[in-house]
Amino acid sequence: MTPSEIQSIKQRFGIIGNAPSLNYAIQVAAQVAPTDMTVLITGESGSGKESFSKIIHALSPRKHGQFIAINCGAIPEGTIDSELFGHEKGSFTGAQEARKGYFEVTNGGTIFLDEIGEMPLGTQARLLRVLENGEFIRVGSSKVQKTDVRVVAATNVNLLDAVREGRFREDLYYRLNTVPIAVPPLRERNDDIYLLFRKFATDFADRYRVKPISLTPDAVQELQRFRFPGNIRQLKNVAEQMSVLETEREVDARRLRNYLPADQSSRLPMLVSAAGSATDGAGNAYSERDLLYKVLFDMRRDMTDLKKLVLDLAGGQRPHEAQELLRQNSHLFTNVSVAPYDGNPARPLRPAGPENSPAEYILNPRDLSGDDDAADYEEEAQRVEDIPHETEEETLSLEAKEKEMIIKALKKHNNKRKYAAHDLGISERTLYRKLKQYDLEQA
C-alpha cells in the first residue's frame, strides 16, 4: 500500500499522525478488510481501537450491511447472552416477548466486540460456536439458527495471561487472533502528540466559539514528555479543559502542568516486561511480592554485614572505628545509644545510660550487665556468621516450633487446654494428642 493510500484512509476516518507503527496498523487493517477473516485489535484504553474496526468494515464487501459496536464489559453477565443471541418469550423473568440478538440483527454485517477479555466463560463458548459454524441458539430455545456475521474483537488486556489464569478460553483466543492488529499507545507516537492537540484545540474553539489554544515551545516539550496513560482520550480531555478554562490563549509549560497529573509524568528507569511486571537487568520478571521480598532480604543482609563489621572492629581492639560506624548508621536502628570509649580494652563499647537501661544494645542484646568481654564479641561474631545456617535449621524444625507454640499457649492460659487449643486454632482433642506426642503434661 502506497503512502498516499494510507493518507487517504487517515483523512476519511479522521486519523491523525505519521508514526510508522500507526501507518503499519492502518495498512494491515486495509489489507484484511476485503476478506472475512476474524481480526483481534490490541491496544491500551483510549488508543483508538474502534477506529480500526470501522476501517475494516467500511473497506469490506459488508460495508452496506449493519455495523454494531458492543462493549462486553458494560453488559451485565446475566443479560449478555440475551443481548448477543436473543431470547424467547418467558425464557427468564421479565422476558415478556421474544427478542432478536445482535448476531441475528447484523446478519451480513460486522460486529465489533470491544473489551472481549471481559466476556463471561459461558458466553465465550457460545461465541466460539458462532465463529466456527455460524450457528447460535436463542436463550430459552432449542432451535439452531444461522448467521453470517464478521467479528472484529478488541482488548486492552493480555489475553494470553487471561488464558493462563483460566479467565479466557484458549480455543477462542486462537480463533479470534486470526489477524492481529496492534494499535500503538500515544507515548510511542511522540511527534503525533502536538498534531493531535492542535486538532482538538481547533475543534473545541469552534464548538465554544473562542480563539484556539496555542502552546509555547517549552509547553510543547512538556506535553510530549507526558506519558498519557489515558492515551488519545486523555489528550482530548486536556485540550477541552484548556479551551474552556484558560483566559490567555497562549499557554506556557508552567500553566500546562496544571492540567497534567504530576504523578503520571515521571519517567522512572524501571524496566517493564510485556506482561506489565517489573524486570531486572537480565529480563527476569519480578512480581510485586518478589520485589518486596528482595528488598527485605537486601536489608537483612546489609544489617548482618554491618553488625559483623562492628563486632570485628570491637573484637580487634578498634573501638573508635566501631563507635563512628554506629553513629554513621544510627538511622538504621532504634533505641541505640553508645557511650564514649572509656579506655577499658575489656569492654570497648557499652550502652549509654544506667546499667539497667531498656535501650536496645546492637552488639550484645542478651546482656547489658557489663560482664561481657572480648570473648563475648568473638562469640557474637561467630553467631552472626552462622545466621543463614541457623535460620535454615530453625525453619526446617517444624516439630520444635510446634512444641514451642504449644508450651507458650499453655503458659498463657495457665494450662487450661480448652483456651490454649482455641488460641492455637486447633481442637482440644488434637491438642491432647500433641501433648501425648511431645510428652507435655503441663507447661
pLDDT per residue as tens digits for the range 48-89: 999 999 999 999 999 999 999 999 989 988 889 999 999 998
pLDDT at 386 over 80: no
Calculate the alpha carbon distances from 47 to 16, 22, 379 in Å: 12, 11, 64
C-alpha cell, 118: 471481559
pLDDT tens across 16-48, in order?
A: 999 999 999 999 999 999 999 999 999 999 999
pLDDT at 284 over 50: no
Terminus-to-terminus CA distance in the chain, angstroms? 85
Contact 280, 286 (CB under 8 A): yes
- Domains annotated on the chain, with CATH: 3-182 (3.40.50.300), 187-264 (1.10.8.60), 290-388 (no CATH), 397-437 (1.10.10.60)
DSSP state of 23: H
Q: Residue 336: pLDDT band by 50, 70, 90 thresholds?
A: very low
C-alpha cell, 105: 440483527
Q: Residue 287: pLDDT band by 50, 70, 90 thresholds?
A: low
**Mean pLDDT, residues 137-163 taken together:** 93
Contacts 24+ apart (CB under 8 A), 1-6: 1/27, 1/30, 1/31, 5/30, 6/30
pLDDT at 391: 42
Mean pLDDT of the chain: 79
